[in-house]
């Protein structure tokens, strides 16, 4: 005997049930502030420094920045334009200017002045009374910067970063006083045609340096000095708009270290949906590949010769990398000849990133 619904109240149809699920998902999507449909601000903000350099030397061993100006005029002029020149340390007001980073320099300054311009005597004086010139080991150079910048969230993991592990110190990317430097011509100067067609207006190098974390060069050119394989990937026809200047490497990566793979600012998928908000979800039915390995399972984020940055030229073969056969059969509800061999999976499975209506991503 089949039970009948109450009189006057028709039974709920499958379409009504799906519509109810979609409404609940849409309400959750609109209610959660973390899913707002806008690009969030970059994590790479200005650095924070709140500690005082720990020098055991008394105040009598500090000469003051004016003594440095006599010999290092160009560096002094550039340094005065930065926030470093405005630092003050209560209780240790004698530590300011150049000696904040280079250490006490009165003995160095006095001995150089006593040489009266003689090159041989100046060389002897500098050898007898050296100052910290950031020419030591990478760990030693970085520790001098991190004595103040350790309070910044962006630099807190630098000691465990890949850059630190490869012997990269702060002064190899940043400059406290921007002066002309000799570029290593052996690395070449690979350019992209996309940069010529879509290049954004370039600001003066000094203004860029002052307002961009005092980087020696602008991104991505600075990063390309070491990451030349990544530069070649950005030369592919399909790529994120980094060569054109519309994006920076630090929009996705934290060069000072991160707990995420590849030093990403966030986890793989969260980094991508920071811009690709329409792929964020939440979805009732989620694609497992996105949850396990993230977007890089199917896409190459730097560049590809395939459409949509796919890692395989043919989309159907990309799907079959995961949807493999079991006991000789395809891992799909199709027989071996049950679908068009020349077709693409997304002809039917259109919502491959996730769906709130169908578990097979058909709609």
Q: How far apart are CA 128 and CA 108, in angstroms?
A: 8
* Alpha-carbon torsion angle 100, 104, 105, 107, nearest 10: 170
Is the pLDDT score of 90 beyond 60? yes
Is the pLDDT score of 192 beyond 80? no
Is the pLDDT score of 240 beyond 90? yes
**Sequence ranges of the domains in the chain:** 46-162, 188-265, 278-363
pLDDT for residue 243: 87
Contacts 24+ apart (CB under 8 A), 205-212: 205/178, 206/78, 206/81, 206/178, 209/175, 209/178, 210/81, 210/82
- Tokens matching residue 242: 């980094």
Q: How far is Cα of residue 15 from the mean position of the Cα atoms in its chain?
A: 45
Of 154 and 307, the structure prediction assigns the larger pLDDT to 307
Q: How far apart are CA 113 and CA 120, in angstroms?
A: 13
Is the pLDDT score of 220 beyond 80? yes
pLDDT for residue 22: 60
pLDDT for residue 50: 52
pLDDT for residue 276: 92
The mean per-residue pLDDT over the stretch 228-248 comes to: 91
91 by Cβ neighbours in 10 Å (0-12 / 13-18 / 19+) ranks as exposed
pLDDT for residue 180: 64
Asked whether the beta carbons of 352 and 346 are under 8 A apart, the reply is: yes
What is the pTM (predicted TM-score) of this model?
0.74
The overall average pLDDT reported for the chain is 79
Report CA-CA distances (Å) from 96 to 39, 105, 133.
40, 12, 16
Dump pLDDT digits (tens) for 119-174: 888 888 888 988 898 988 999 999 888 888 877 777 888 888 999 999 999 999 99
pLDDT for residue 311: 93
Dump pLDDT digits (tens) for 22-74: 666 555 444 443 333 333 333 344 455 555 666 778 888 898 888 888 889 99
């Amino acid at each position: 005997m089949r039970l009948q619904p109450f009189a006057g109240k028709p039974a709920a149809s499958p379409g009504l049930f799906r519509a109810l699920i979609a409404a609940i998902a849409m309400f959750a999507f609109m209610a959660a502030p973390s899913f707002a449909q806008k690009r969030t601000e970059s994590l790479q903000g200005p650095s924070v420094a709140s500690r005082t350099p720990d020098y055991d030397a008394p105040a009598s061993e500090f000469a003051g920045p004016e003594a440095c100006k006599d010999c290092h005029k160009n560096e002094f002029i550039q340094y005065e334009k930065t926030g470093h020149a405005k630092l003050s340390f209560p209780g240790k007001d004698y530590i300011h200017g150049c000696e904040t980073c280079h250490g006490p320099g009165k003995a160095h300054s006095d001995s150089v002045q006593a040489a009266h311009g003689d090159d041989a005597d100046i060389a002897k004086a500098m050898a007898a009374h050296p100052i910290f010139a950031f020419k030591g080991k990478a760990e030693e150079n970085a520790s001098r910067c991190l004595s103040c910048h350790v309070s910044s969230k962006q630099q807190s993991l630098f000691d465990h970063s890949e850059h630190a592990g490869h012997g990269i110190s702060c002064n190899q990317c940043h400059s406290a006083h921007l002066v002309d430097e000799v570029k290593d011509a052996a690395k070449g100067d690979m350019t992209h045609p996309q940069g010529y067609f879509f290049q954004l207006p370039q600001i003066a190098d000094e203004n860029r340096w002052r307002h961009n974390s005092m980087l020696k060069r602008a991104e991505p050119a600075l990063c390309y000095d070491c990451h030349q394989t990544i530069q070649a990937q950005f030369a592919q026809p399909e790529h994120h708009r980094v060569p054109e200047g519309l994006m920076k490497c630090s929009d996705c990566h934290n060069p000072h270290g991160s707990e995420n793979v590849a030093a990403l600012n966030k986890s793989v998928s969260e980094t991508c949906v920071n811009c690709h908000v329409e792929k964020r979800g939440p979805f009732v039915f989620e694609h497992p590949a996105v949850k396990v390995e993230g977007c890089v399972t199917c896409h190459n984020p730097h560049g590809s010769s395939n459409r949509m940055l796919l890692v395989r030229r043919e989309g159907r073969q990309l799907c079959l990398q995961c949807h493999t056969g079991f006991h000789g059969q395809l891992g799909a509800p199709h027989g071996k000849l049950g679908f068009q061999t020349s077709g693409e999976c997304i002809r039917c499975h259109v919502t491959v990133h996730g769906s709130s209506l169908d578990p097979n991503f058909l709609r």
